[in-house]
A and B are shown apart, each in its own frame.
Chain A
């Protein structure tokens, strides 16, 4: 996890326009979205016109211009997950939390995100909540998982951030 600081993210990258996407990636990871002032700072410090920063921020799916929920529920929509019924998982979240892909629940807790492929095709349907992978998901399992996360969220997050290969 990068530092929560735009200065440290820009360290060693100033005046290098080609670092734009990398800088935005780190900002996204650190803040959960791209705050307007960080995009302005990035434009100034990298020497990229602000319009190009906004353009990149809009173009790439990895970036969000609005704050995301505390828990990001990522549903894999890859072909292998599709033939095993990942659409049902999106329906499940829609019904349970009233959020469509890209939206955040009213209480600010959950954001639903759909991605094209997580590369865990043999284990599909796959769902990731804040970095922790859940495989062979069914609507029922997801329903309990969301409820569980809502109740015991903090431990889950700690587990997810411990990351792989410690």
Chain B
């Protein structure tokens, strides 16, 4: 492949690359993201490639392995174009039928089609799937067209065109004004206006400046950044390059979690390929702009998602935050002006530059523009990544896209914004996904995690889960966070263990407010949200734990006792064998019994019993 030495050369290269693919008449797109790989997609792909070459079709049918499509629950998945035929839950045994029947003869294989869990009917094409249909996939839809390990596939689709536009037509101030006008706000949780951040960094004194991509997606239950970096790394890089051009940076860093090995790998491959093509390095495309990117792996500390802690970590130090009296746009990495944005924020930049600020601002609400990717998980029928215009009601996401509760139990709440967010009850589901609206309701958009909870979820236990998480992840530098979260967890543990006292609720509220007001960084400041939002909307559950020593959801171990219903037990022995603590006895084909003295209340027997004979007393 010729190296484009001038801006115009990139268009020539694009045309040449497009011409190289014309002999393919059909394209089989397989998802090779972490989720589908976990479900075995790689062996399916190998099997299909084998059959294709045996049938002599490998020169006419393109097999494209892409990043995550966001519909992980259905994996491994495949789309055939033309025809838009969508198959799911594939196994290597299906390879023969896929090639012989569908690819060669155009027959649709009924058993591989997606079944809509709401209506129970088979869906023929990808476009008709209700999960996708209600979305507005501006960023995610590109993933299924791109092989993340091939810069060519990004270029063919118009990649790096926004960069050339910025290089040739836009002085830094114009780029910053465009981003400002678009109304783009940080997608990592804070929601700070991106354009303002860039303008401050541009105005900061100094020749040496940095851009950073925050891919330390530590929020449990959120994986949109993994999906973007893993599936379309060049899009993120292009955004960073435009940002660097605007603020005057020559060096960028991508700080990515070690827990995302595939994202690390794809980002590294992408850097290498961009360097080889001269899209990273000195004098990019023959211009005066020089820029390079380094990939750094996070060490598994949630607090490193905070900008100052992340920068300390990049400097090779312990990831502790520092006071932000002087903002990082002035005093950031190595005390130089630094612009740090999250993966999704960077990924939005190229299309804003290409299509203009007003195009971006045409979607969304007054204060929150564009689309947002949400990770819809928990107790819903359809789980996966969902991209919707800002302002979409929570109800649409949970019920129309998510299909409602997955097991017949009623949906009780949705937890948004990860450990820094809160739980919102069903009667708040008409709220729009909007930075201000969710914050007013005591939660936040955050990075976009959305965990749906049903009647089997104990809200006190959820608050305890997040407090335990935050206590574990607190770096310990400031007292309110280190000790305050500890004390809150102590109180909540008391409540879930049956030692709760009525006055502890007020104490908990006071503590939560104090920790929120006085902590050094966002980890501590937002630690109150899980506590206060559950107290606000689910106070009756706290009261049941305290006053009646009862866990309404049957989750808190101290308040439940497991027993075997003699009517339903058929003596199969599964529970006896499954119990890791040896607490179940009984002869074959006779009713089994749980010894309450030995029972550790782990609930494994209940999850293993196929006859619903293990009950909670």
B296 sits at the interface (CB 8 A): yes
CB distance from B219 to the nearest CB of A (A): 7
- Contacting pair B220 A18 (CB below 8 A): no
Closest to B600 in A: A91
CB distance from A39 to the nearest CB of B (A): 14
- Contacting pair A96 B580 (CB below 8 A): yes
- Contacting pair B315 A77 (CB below 8 A): no
Q: Which of B226, B299, B453 has the most CB of A within 10 A?
A: B299
B198 sits at the interface (CB 8 A): no
Hey, which chain A residues are within 8 Å of B415, CB to CB?
A: 79
Quick check: which of B11-19, B30-38, B205-213, B363-371 contacts chain A, the rest being far away?
A: B30-38
- Contacting pair B42 A123 (CB below 8 A): no
- Contacting pair B451 A17 (CB below 8 A): no
CB distance from B41 to the nearest CB of A (A): 9
A residues contacting the other copy or chain, number (CB 8 A): 56
A20 sits at the interface (CB 8 A): yes
CB distance from B64 to the nearest CB of A (A): 13
Closest to A135 in B: B38
Given contacts A25-B258, A78-B220, A140-B608, could you give 11 more A-B pairs where the C-beta distance is less than 8 Å? Answer: A25-B297, A78-B221, A79-B451, A80-B220, A82-B220, A83-B453, A91-B600, A95-B602, A116-B220, A123-B72, A140-B578
Cα A121 to Cα B418 with chains together (Å): 13
Within 585-614 of B, Cβ neighbours of A (below 8 Å) are at 600, 602-604, 607-608
> Which one, A60, A61, A80, contacts B378 given CB within 8 A?
A80
Cα A78 to Cα B260 with chains together (Å): 14
- Contacting pair A120 B38 (CB below 8 A): yes
Quick check: which of A48-56, A103-111, A148-156 contacts chain B, the rest being far away?
A: A48-56
Q: For the complex, would chain A's binding face be called helix, strand, loop or mixed by DSSP majority? A: helix
For the complex of A and B, the 10 pairs showing the least CB-CB separation, nearest first, are A95-B580, A60-B299, A133-B38, A78-B220, A61-B300, A80-B377, A79-B221, A119-B223, A20-B316, A122-B72
> Which one, A21, A52, A119, A166, contacts B259 given CB within 8 A?
A119
Hey, which chain A residues are within 8 Å of B603, CB to CB?
A: 85, 88, 91
Given known contacts A88-B603, A122-B72, A79 and B449 CB-to-CB distance under 8 angstroms: yes
Cα A164 to Cα B378 with chains together (Å): 27
Cα A135 to Cα B34 with chains together (Å): 11
- Contacting pair A124 B602 (CB below 8 A): no
Given known contacts A92-B604, A164-B32, A122 and B581 CB-to-CB distance under 8 angstroms: no
Cα A55 to Cα B320 with chains together (Å): 12
B136 sits at the interface (CB 8 A): no
Closest to A121 in B: B377
Hey, which chain A residues are within 8 Å of B375, CB to CB?
A: 80, 121
Given known contacts A80-B220, A115-B300, A138 and B377 CB-to-CB distance under 8 angstroms: no
Given known contacts A78-B221, A79-B449, A164 and B37 CB-to-CB distance under 8 angstroms: yes
Hey, which chain A residues are within 8 Å of B315, CB to CB?
A: 17-18
A62 sits at the interface (CB 8 A): yes
Hey, which chain B residues are within 8 Å of A138, CB to CB?
A: 607-608
A117 sits at the interface (CB 8 A): yes
- Contacting pair A18 B318 (CB below 8 A): no
Cα A12 to Cα B96 with chains together (Å): 48
- Contacting pair B578 A139 (CB below 8 A): yes
- Contacting pair A92 B299 (CB below 8 A): no
- Contacting pair B35 A48 (CB below 8 A): no
Mark contacts of B440-482 with chain A using CB atoms, 8 A cut-off: 1 yes-contact digit, 0 otherwise: 0000000001010100010000100110010001010000000
B302 sits at the interface (CB 8 A): yes
CB distance from B451 to the nearest CB of A (A): 5
Hey, which chain B residues are within 8 Å of A79, CB to CB?
A: 220-221, 377-378, 415, 418, 449, 451, 465-466
- Contacting pair A164 B42 (CB below 8 A): yes
